[in-house]
Every structure is written in C-alpha cells, then in structure tokens.
Chain A
C-alpha cells in the first residue's frame, strides 16, 4: 500500500522550489544573492503591535481561545471592516485562522464536492488552484491578459460559469500581477454574478491597503450589497502590518458558512496562536500611520522598478495599482542566448539563468499559471532592489 493519499498526490510539486533550492545553495557558497522572490514585506512589525503581544503574554493570555478566535479580535475585525469598507458584520460572521491561507483551505474543504468548479482568474497565486484540487474541486482558470492590465473581463467570467460552478475567487489587488479593481471595475463583474445566483464569491483583499497614486481598490460586497449573503471576504494582517510570521488571517461571511469553516478548523488546528491574536487587535485598531508610511515607500519602489524594467531590452512592464509585485513580460527575451551560453527557451530558463549568472532570485510566470512573464517582489530594501534591477538590466543587455 502506498503511503501517500490520492489527495496528496494531486498537489503539484512546487515550481518555486527549484529556484529557492538553487538560491539557498548559492548563498551557502558565499555568493551574493538578491532575493526578489518572497511575498512578504521587508519591514519589521510595528512596535506598538509587538508591545500589545508582549503585554498579552505577560497577562497570561496563553490559553486556548474559541476555535474561531477571541470575541475581542472578532469585534475588532468587524470595526476594521466597517471603517475601511463601510460593510457591517457581526462577530458571529467572522472567523480567525492561522493565516489567510487557512481561511481559503477551510472554505474550499468545507464546501467543495468532487467535480465542483471554481473560477479563478489567472495569473493567480498557485495556492488557489492547489487548494481547490486538494478539496476534490476543479479549478477553471480564466486567462487575464497584459493588454487588459491582467484584469478579468466580465464577459470572460460569464463564459466560464457553468451549472457546476460553486465559487468565483478574486484576488484584489492581485498576487502576482499587482492588478487591482476599483469599485467601478467591479460593477460589470457584480452584474454577471447577480445573474448566476448559484455562484459563491470569495474575494481575497489581503493587499487592499497597498494601492498607489490614490487608487482605491473596491470590494464586492461594498459594490453590490445584494451579493453579501453569498460572499466571503478574506483579509489578514500579514501584508498591511508586516506581520507575516504571526500567522493571522480572517474572513467575514454568512453565518452558516463561517460555522462550517469553524467546524473544520476545530478538527484540524483549533484556534490560531493566542498571543498573535492579541497583536492583531492592536494592528487593526491601533494607530494606522505605519501602514501609510510603508505604503509610501512601496509606491516609490514600484515606480523605480517599473522604470528600470522598461529600460531592459526584451522586457515590457506595466505599472500596477496595488500589492508589492510587478509582473513583466519577457516575451522579447525568449529564444535568445545568455552570455553564459544558455538558451532562454521559456520563463523558467529565464529566471534560472538570471539567478545563476547574476545572483537575482525571482519567480517565473508558470508558477502563477501564466508563463511568459516573471514576478518581482519589491518588498525589499530599496538599495537591494535597485541593485537587483541593475543586474537584470545587465543580464538582458547580454542576451543575443
């Protein structure tokens, strides 16, 4: 009898492992590697948030909490939603999990039956289709081209919906492209969804505080309140408050769905870390000025990276409205040969050769179900970022 379950075998081996393994090996050999591959802010968690965590542990907040999180944190989440989006939720419509990833996992595992379809615009975070597959569902990817700013067209959504569609998952702003939808952009999408009452909506808004040049991302329920009773709004403190390691994500949605997710969580992990929950309360309700300070730095970096990428021969980089990623096209580099003699046959060859020759780690587009591109994270110290981009320029200039 084989050890691994069929469900485990359905999970694709991670396409980013090759990159990170090579990068780690190079670092171990003492090479200077600039990593522009990670999806987490380079900033440290703000001090007021750490202090709240320390105060909680010293008060003895070290016991189990409700599986769905403390009532204080769930209330704080409702206040933050009301303040930031105008949407009113009750604490029983909130669940706290070990990262937003667990929210997605809970949601899909507790709702999908074999053959249920989930519509996912691509490029996308690979965990979306992976989690759907793990839960016996079928990911239906809808390509969103660069010529539309990597954004989903309403008619493409309409065409992807079938009687078996259970969920539509939207990431706004998007990892890996940084594409973001305003309230205006979401209107036609909401109209399509209104016509298909059997489709549930998961909107992952984890990057929504990171938007630039005055852009304001919309969110489904605020745009179309009639969709509230079939929408799960996913959020967390990781990206906005530089709290990735604390592992706190959350979601707001209809009570019946939240209860189902709570039930699953009660049998898989129970509550998320109690101290981290206390930290998240301070993040959501404490002073918000650090968020704005970080956002401004990200905006400057985005501008610099886009400019430096567009100066690379063979690269074409749009300027996205949110998150901390850019997703340049390398179509002009494919088929060329690097100075080191490697044929750049696809995006994976591009990032592997870039890493080997110049010591810059990035992620290729195939890892986001959308080849021909690569992802650069600008959540890195500005100087490292500038040096990394300069190396990419040199690499591209060397292609023949």
Chain B
C-alpha cells in the first residue's frame, strides 16, 4: 500500500548539496578517489573549551529537559555576544535557541507565514529559505543579485518586489553560496526602502558573520537600522564560526512577541535543545577567539588560491567574495561543449555531474541556489585537497571541446 503524503511535502525537496554528497559518498565507497567540495561545514575541530564545558555539563548532571527557548546560561552568553559584536541589546525574552540556525528560521517562517504570504529572497540563496516558505504555502519572491553587482541585492530591486502580501525580506550576509557580503552602506540603502514598507519584517541570517576577509567590516541589519529593530529577526549560531556544526546550536534575537511565537512553534516541533550542546555553545561564545582568527586566515588563503586557479581554468570566471567559505564560479564558457568522456554540457547541473563522474570532484550546481550557470565550491577543505580538486577542475575544462 502506498502511503498518502501531505501535499505540502510535495513542495519540498532534499537539498541538492545533500544529494551530491550522497552521490560522492557512493562513488567513494566504490573505491573512487573522490574529493568532496560540497559540504557547508568547517574542517576544523570544535574549540577545546567548548568540549570541556560539554564534558563538565554531562558530568554535573545537566541532562534534564531544558527550557524550550534555551538555558539561561546560554541565553546570557548570547545576550553578551549580540552586545559585543553588534552593539545590540536584547532582553532574555527576546532571545531563543534552536537546533541549528535552520530551526530558528523554520520556527519564524512556520509561526508567521500563511498561505499566499510572500517572502522576498535575494538569490543566489541557500535553498532552505524558499523550501521553508513553500512548506508553509507561502510564495518565495526571488530577487536576482547578478554577478556584475557582486551577487549583492540592489535596494531598488527589493523595493520593486514588495507587494501588500509581502511578509518578510530575508538577507544573508555573508551569503551562502556566493560569499558576497553587503557593506553597512549597502544595508542602509535597503533599510531606507524598508522604512517605506512598515508591513514587511526583516530576517537577517548572519551565520557566517565572522568569516570575512581583507579587513571587511561586517554589520547586521538591526545595527545599521536600529529604528527597524522592532521588526527585525537576527539569526546566527556557533556552527560556522566555531566549527560546531554537529552540536546543532543556532539562536535568534528579535521582538518579544515574535520570539514567543517561535518558542510556541518549537514547543510543538522538538521542545528544548540538547543540553550538552547548549553548554558547549555558551563556552564558545564567551571563550577566547584565537582559534577563530586562525581559521579566518586559512579561509582567506584558500579563497585567494581558489579564485586564482578557477580563473585560470578555461571557460570559467570567478568573482572574489568578501566572506564565508564558498566561491561561486561562473561556468557559462563550459556550456555547449563536450567533455573528454563524451558528455554534452547543457546546464550547470551537467557540468557538476560530469565533473563528479569523470574527474571525481563533487561540487553543487548553481541552479540549486536559484542562479545558473554556476558551481558552488566549498573552501572548508584542507589546502592540499582543495588544490587537487581545483587542479582537476582545470584538467576537466582543458579537456572540453
């Protein structure tokens, strides 16, 4: 008997990065020398003081149901973090903790979006935004951020996309998959548009906020436009900054009514979040930052050689992004050509699959982030391995005819 699923589920798909990772794993299991440049997670270890804090929490019996919106200890550390990094003051009831930043976004969308409500998403973007909106029967309104604008949203394009049904604008700085990061001035221009539209809420996803290079100064929306803080949700977490993806701790700061609504939603979906993860996250936020500094140096070094090597590949042009651990090369010059293995390349997905199956390099195609023809390459990979992957991409391009 076939199970009948909810129609809402038909609107959701498994993330392309996950599908590519699964394909790469299968090839690896078959003995192929696969280099995986698909994953959005740091290749570093979690900070020792975070591990120690989790260890102590477990031994001390911190193993009971936590409050649904987060432990007091972690929420106080988050409060200090928002103040320290962005000058933002949030009360404890304006903060909630989720199973990753993803759950904070999910809670916010589920708690606010009704069928037909529109959510503006500048693209390229992380696929989860549109998926969550569709799951709620909302309408994702995609605003193109072309390469010639450094993959950043233009204030006038956002203005043009707003309708009476617009509920949210989602901003992601630095951006997954492009690494682009708006400056404070660019955010101020968007804020000026938002002031004209008081019915639109702003979700600022700052998960990669600390991973910026060349002295770039990161600024978050509520910091740039304090007068709009009462309709802004600021989401971030410890996963990317502190190499703590597996601990699953994200958090959000926002107006009390919204945070309360998100907590009610989370109360139905998962209830509270793992206590050892919360203890580790609190220690990471309050702890020394030298490990993070060293990682930023590594990500910058990798970005630099990745951009150079990709621009040296025939048919590829690669923009140099401000942050995150991705580069997003344009593969337009590869389309219409044939690989050494005899495959015709019509789309970026074709490039992605041929690259994996012929040269054993796993990447994700741009279409999965709503913009073609591009590839997303993660630089959260050891230098040597990343370099070998990039060499293979060069070889692949060399062989196109």
Which A residues are closer than 8 A to B by beta carbons?
A: 1, 3-8, 11, 14, 38, 40, 44-45, 50, 53-54, 57-58, 60-65, 67, 97-99, 101-102, 105, 109-113, 127, 130-131, 134-135, 166, 197, 200, 229-230, 242-247, 254, 256-257, 260, 262-264, 266-276
Q: Does B20 contact A (CB under 8 A)?
A: no
The residue of chain A having its C-beta at the shortest distance from the C-beta of B55 within the complex is: A54
Cα–Cα, bound, A267→B8 (Å): 12
Q: Does B346 contact A (CB under 8 A)?
A: no
In the complex, the answer to whether B13 meets A246 with C-beta atoms within 8 Å is no
Query: Closest CB of chain A to B264's CB: distance in Å?
Result: 6
Neighbouring A residues of B248 by C-beta, 8 Å? 98, 269-274
Q: Which of B46, B66, B248 is the most central at the interface, judged by chain A CB atoms within 10 Å of its CB? A: B248
Cα–Cα, bound, A99→B272 (Å): 9
The B222-266 residues at the A interface (CB cut-off 8 A) are: 243-248, 257-258, 261, 264-265
Cα–Cα, bound, A349→B111 (Å): 32
The residue of chain A having its C-beta at the shortest distance from the C-beta of B274 within the complex is: A273
The B268-286 residues at the A interface (CB cut-off 8 A) are: 268-277, 280
Neighbouring A residues of B294 by C-beta, 8 Å? none
**Contacts known (A101-B270, A109-B6, A263-B12); A38 close to B246, Cβ less than 8 A:** no
Query: Closest CB of chain A to B63's CB: distance in Å?
Result: 4
Query: Closest CB of chain A to B273's CB: distance in Å?
Result: 6
Between A and B, 27 residue pairs with Cβ closer than 8 Å are A5-B112, A11-B264, A40-B64, A54-B54, A63-B41, A98-B99, A98-B273, A102-B270, A109-B9, A113-B6, A113-B7, A229-B1, A245-B64, A245-B272, A247-B271, A247-B273, A247-B275, A257-B3, A263-B12, A266-B18, A267-B128, A270-B248, A272-B274, A273-B277, A274-B247, A275-B277, A276-B274
Neighbouring B residues of A246 by C-beta, 8 Å? 63, 274-276
Neighbouring A residues of B128 by C-beta, 8 Å? 267
**Contacts known (A105-B269, A109-B6, A166-B4); A8 close to B261, Cβ less than 8 A:** yes
Cα–Cα, bound, A288→B98 (Å): 32
Q: Does B216 contact A (CB under 8 A)?
A: no
Neighbouring B residues of A273 by C-beta, 8 Å? 99, 246-248, 273-274, 276-277
Neighbouring B residues of A127 by C-beta, 8 Å? 268
In the complex, the answer to whether A268 meets B258 with C-beta atoms within 8 Å is no
Q: Among A7, A230, A276, point to the contact of B3 (Cβ < 8 A).
A: A230
Q: Does B382 contact A (CB under 8 A)?
A: no
Contact with A along B58-80 (1 / 0, CB 8 A): 11011111100000000000000
In the complex, the answer to whether B275 meets A60 with C-beta atoms within 8 Å is no
Q: Among A54, A97, A109, A266, point to the contact of B58 (Cβ < 8 A).
A: A54
Neighbouring B residues of A14 by C-beta, 8 Å? 267
In the complex, the answer to whether B275 meets A245 with C-beta atoms within 8 Å is yes
Neighbouring B residues of A270 by C-beta, 8 Å? 99-100, 102, 248
The residue of chain A having its C-beta at the shortest distance from the C-beta of B64 within the complex is: A245
Query: Closest CB of chain A to B220's CB: distance in Å?
Result: 21
Cα–Cα, bound, A154→B8 (Å): 33
Q: Does B377 contact A (CB under 8 A)?
A: no
- State the 5 A-B residue pairs at the shortest beta-carbon distance, nearest first: A274-B246, A273-B274, A245-B275, A269-B99, A98-B270
Cα–Cα, bound, A61→B245 (Å): 10
Q: Among A1, A109, A197, point to the contact of B8 (Cβ < 8 A).
A: A109
**Contacts known (A44-B61, A230-B1, A275-B54); A266 close to B246, Cβ less than 8 A:** no
